[in-house]
Amino acid sequence: MNCFRIGQLAFRSGVGIQTIRYYERRGLLPNPLRSESNYRLYPGNAVGVVRFIKQTQMLGFSLSEIKSLLSLRSMENARCSDVRKRAQAKISQIEEKIKQLETMKQALARLEELCSKGGSVRECPILEALEETGAVRESREEVTA
């Protein structure tokens, strides 16, 4: 059978058993089939889903964001235009993150370069670089004399 019980699923996806049950309660994993003795039975692809959750979490998304991401999977229930809108929103969110990461990366690269040249660095190149490119953005600026 290509069906896992919860222990196998947890092991294969690198999380704890409790975590799987927790994701189920949170609605990130669908209620699985049950065996006669009420054991959860997962199909093979469940492993991918759990790993996806973990990966996506590392990228700064919360479980509820991930839930909404996962809900884009089956479009059958929703109006298609709605799915598109949500997908687009997620895409720009992701693009924003990428841009910020690129900026940080460049700043670090510059730091490294400066460092290997043995130059004494006056001020922080990381923050400077981020400020230049606007990654460290104004949030509630207020004009002060």
Partner DNA sequence: CTTGACTCGATACTTAGGTATAGGGTTTAT
Partner DNA sequence: ATAAACCCTATACCTAAGTATCGAGTCAAG
Buried b / exposed e along 81-115 (16+ C-beta atoms within 10 A): eebeeeeeeeeeeeeeeeebeebeebbeeebeeee
Partner whose binding site includes residue 129, from a second copy, DNA, none (CB under 5 to 8 Å by kind): none
Q: Is 49 in contact with 30 (CB distance < 8 Å)?
A: no
Under the binding rule (CB under 7 A), the answer on residue 130 touching DNA is no
The full length of the chain comes to 145
Q: Both ends of the chain: CA-CA distance in Å?
A: 73
Under the binding rule (CB under 7 A), the answer on residue 35 touching DNA is yes
CA distance 65 to 90: 9
Instruction: Give the x-and-dash track for 71-110 against a second copy (CB under 8 A).
Output: -xxxxx---x--xx--xx-xx--xx-xx-xxx-xx--xx-
- Residue 5 Cβ, how far from DNA at the closest point, in Å? 3
Residues that bind a second copy (CB under 8 A): 8, 11-14, 45, 48-49, 51-52, 55-61, 69-70, 72-76, 80, 83-84, 87-88, 90-91, 94-95, 97-98, 100-102, 104-105, 108-109, 111-112, 115-116, 118, 120-121, 123-127, 130-131, 135-137, 139-142, 144
